[in-house]
Amino acid sequence: MATGEARRRISANLARIEARIARACAQAGRERREVTLVAVTKTRTWDEVLAAHACGLRHFGENRVEELETRLPKARTSLGQELPTWHMIGHIQSRKAARAVAISDLIHSVDSLRLAERLDRAAAEAGRTLPVLLEINVSGEAAKYGFDAATAGPEDALVAELARLEGLAHLSVQGLMTMAPIVADAEQARPVFGRLRLLRERLQRELAFSGWHELSMGMTDDYVIAIQEGATLVRIGRAIFEPQDQA
* Domain CATH for 141: 3.20.20.10
* Residue-level pLDDT at 167: 87
Establish if 74 belongs to a structural domain.
Answer: yes
Q: For 176-205, what is the mean pLDDT?
A: 92
The pTM is what?
0.94
Instruction: State yes or no: pLDDT of 126 exceeds 50.
Output: yes
Query: Is residue 2 pLDDT above 60, yes or no?
Result: no
Of the chain, the percentage scoring pLDDT greater than 70 comes to: 94
pLDDT above 90 (res 183): no
One DSSP character per residue, the chain reads ---HHHHHHHHHHHHHHHHHHHHHHHHTT--GGG-EEEEE-TT--HHHHHHHHHTT--EEEES-HHHHHHHHHHHHHHHTT-PPEEEE-S---GGGHHHHHHH-SEEEEE-SHHHHHHHHHHHHHHT-PEEEEEEEE-S--TTS-SEE-SSHHHHHHHHHHHGGGGG-TTEEEEEEE--PPP-SSGGGGHHHHHHHHHHHHHHHHHS--S---EEE---TTTHHHHHHTT-SEEEESHHHHS-GGG-
Read off the pLDDT band of 209 (50, 70, 90): low
In a domain, 247, yes or no: no
Is residue 246 very low, low, confident or very high in pLDDT (cuts 50, 70, 90)? very low
For the ranges 1-15, 104-118, 152-166, the one whose mean pLDDT is highest? 104-118
Q: Which of 161, 155, 230, 159 shows the shortest CA–CA distance to 190?
A: 230
Q: Is residue 246 part of a domain?
A: no
Number of structural domains found in the chain: 1
Which residues form the domain of 185? Answer: 4-241
Per residue in 142-178, pLDDT (tens digit) is 878 999 886 656 778 888 889 889 889 999 999 999 9
Kindly report, residue by residue over 56-79, the tens digit of the pLDDT. 999 999 999 999 999 999 999 999
pLDDT of res. 211: 74
